[in-house]
Structure 1
Amino acid sequence: MRHLFFASLTFQFFLTPTAQAEYRLTILHTNDFHSQFSPMDQFDNLCSPQADAEGKCFAGSARLATAIAEARARTKNTVLLDAGDQFPSRTDANLARPELLAELMNRMGYDAIALGSHEFDQGPEVAREFIDALGFPALIANADLSAEPLLDDMTRKSMVIEHAAERLGIIGLTPECADCWAGVDYISIFDPVGAVKEEAARLTADGIDKIIVLSHAGFYVDQKIAREAEGVDVIVGGHSHTYLSNTLKPSQGPYPTIENGVPIVHAWPYGNTLGELNLIFDETGSVVSAVGDQIRLDGDVAMDKGIQFLLTGSK
């Protein structure tokens, strides 16, 4: 599987004419949600109901649920992925609500999560509670959790999704940085690039020709993976809070950013956006088109009433 060069000033990455056996896929994605259930104002403060009614607020789980439903309605084939750190930051770790996080993700229909470091800040019991409640796999290819009995065999290196008569391989990553794992001595973390190489080779040998890396390793590591790991088609990332967009400001690069022919996408943190990447694969499994951007979850996005009731008890 060889990637061709993407180039367009409009950030719509089209290559040679697509073959008749083309496969279209939309990846919806989030990362670094950090338990931001409620809307925020422009200064990242919790938003009052009055300000929210006036359209001055952003984000929140109820808006995210609506954006996901609307995106699914306009596309035929979608997967919904999270690139980690659903839990609060370490300073707010005592505010973690693992069962609520899992219930929200299950209701929204996520297909996979790559666990970030903050999922383990409160210890193995809380991490186990979260993973147990998920209705989909938790992925980490570059970690060994076997030293902790509560977490042994709770995660996978990768998964295969049977999707519209195609098989998609998804590899999960967590960050290698020492600071990320302060106080967590029951997990061994190793090189994400080497882990992707090994798992991508295994998936390829099993006949999987469409491989997505779901990475909580950070943007620069994602670029390194794109340059060095054979067989990777797309990288959906998180951890570094990198702002990628063609239209929204501030932006640190285009959406998607292309590295060595591999599209890389990150959503904005704290539930401010939903990423939507529309892909076309040719008959060999190579990406020939990658088009998309962030969907800003502002006051124009309605609240999902079911999610709102779950969070607040009111509609």
Structure 2
Amino acid sequence: MQTVTAAADTADVPRSALAPALHILHTNDFHNSLGEAGGKRLREAIASLEGAPYLFLDAGDAIKAGNVGVNPFGEPILDCMSDLGYDAMTLGNREFHILRPALETKISHARFPILCANLRGRDPEAAQKLPVVPHITLDRGGLKVTIFGLTVPMVTEKMKMAAAVSAFLFDDPIEVARRLVAELRWGADVLIALTHIGIREDERLARSVSGIDLIIGGHSHVSLASPQWVEREGGSSRATPIVQAGWHARSYGHVTLHRPPGDRTGEGAWQVHGELHPLQERVQERGKPH
């Protein structure tokens, strides 16, 4: 399948002529590395929007603890993100734990929703008490914006030993997205996949599932200077944009969605522009996901 170049995100209509607009600030894979300077720059970015409708999202692995580590006092980075006004984040592999009390402790300091649509409880009782939600819908500037989360599968039914002790199981994120998008698409003006599955799986998601307006990714520590456009299978005339903002708080992304005046065609009408901005003076090359 063809990957469309970043040049595709320049519309024929001048950006200033497009309306309405939704701003999306996005981050991923902090690994507890934000710091005071990075937090200040994010506050400045929010202030620069001057009352325009915006979302503030994170694509997972914000915390310091590893996959099996747990800070019994919770993760202070989530307090910082709450104070900054994040609207939601997706569950990263660092936030996950196979034991319910440990998972709840890891994400306890988040005063915003943690999203993961492909996580389920191993037994019916656990399924009723998931500490995450599959999706949320927010109103921004009169637009209904639905965001759903996907996480790299950490424990599946095929992993017999791990599945026997884990309180949770993961389903295939692409299959879950296919079912979920069919359910959510027609009730949303904007449909966003907030993922922690890595760029290759994001590309597969874009090719396989029609109806997603934007994929905001994490896990693979890729810095995309502008949206990567991926054509859908079956020769669709529309491509799906993917964005990701590196790792260790090197940068944040700023995406703007526009619809041409008078356009009421629904899905596929959005024009998407995006760029990265530094959060630190020195920006290192990408690291391996962990």
Both structures adopt the same fold (TM-score exceeding 0.5): yes
Q: How many residues align?
A: 261
TM-score, L = length of structure 1: 0.73
- Per-residue deviation, residues 273-296 of structure 1 (Å, max 9, x unmatched): 111112213532535432222211
Alpha-carbon spacing, 1:20–1:292, altered in 2? closer, same or farther (3 Å)? closer
Q: Matched residues, percent identical?
A: 27
* Structure-2 residue corresponding to 1:157: 134
Alpha-carbon spacing, 1:92–1:130, altered in 2? closer, same or farther (3 Å)? closer
Inter-partner Cα distance in structure 1 for 2:214 and 2:113: 19
Code of the residue aligned with 2:258 in structure 1: it is I
1:216 aligned onto 2:196? yes
Worse overlay, 191-200 or 138-147 = 138-147
Code of the residue aligned with 1:68 in structure 2: it is L
- Counterparts of 1:227-238 in structure 2, within 5 Å, are 227-238=207-218
SS in 2 for 1:134: coil
Which of 275, 281, 287 pairs up with 2:259?
Answer: 281
Code of the residue aligned with 1:142 in structure 2: it is N
Code of the residue aligned with 2:24 in structure 1: it is I
Contact kept in structure 2, 1:158 and 1:199, CA below 8 Å: no
Alpha-carbon spacing, 1:216–1:198, altered in 2? closer, same or farther (3 Å)? same
Inter-partner Cα distance in structure 1 for 2:137 and 2:257: 18
5+ unaligned residues in a row in structure 2: which ranges? 232-238, 283-290
The alignment's C-alpha RMSD in Å is 3.1
Tell which has more relative contact order, 1 or 2 (C-alpha 8 A, sep 6+). 1
* Structure-2 residue corresponding to 1:268: 246
- Per-residue deviation, residues 19-66 of structure 1 (Å, max 9, x unmatched): 988321111111111122xxxxxxxxxxxxxxxxxxxxxxx3322222
Contact kept in structure 2, 1:233 and 1:287, CA below 8 Å: no
TM-score, L = length of structure 2: 0.78
Alpha-carbon spacing, 1:231–1:277, altered in 2? closer, same or farther (3 Å)? same
Inter-partner Cα distance in structure 1 for 2:275 and 2:105: 33
* Structure-2 residue corresponding to 1:22: 19
5+ unaligned residues in a row in structure 1: which ranges? 37-59, 246-254, 301-315
- Per-residue deviation, residues 70-103 of structure 1 (Å, max 9, x unmatched): 2222321211111111223538935686241321
Contact kept in structure 2, 1:244 and 1:256, CA below 8 Å: yes
Inter-partner Cα distance in structure 2 for 1:150 and 1:101: 28
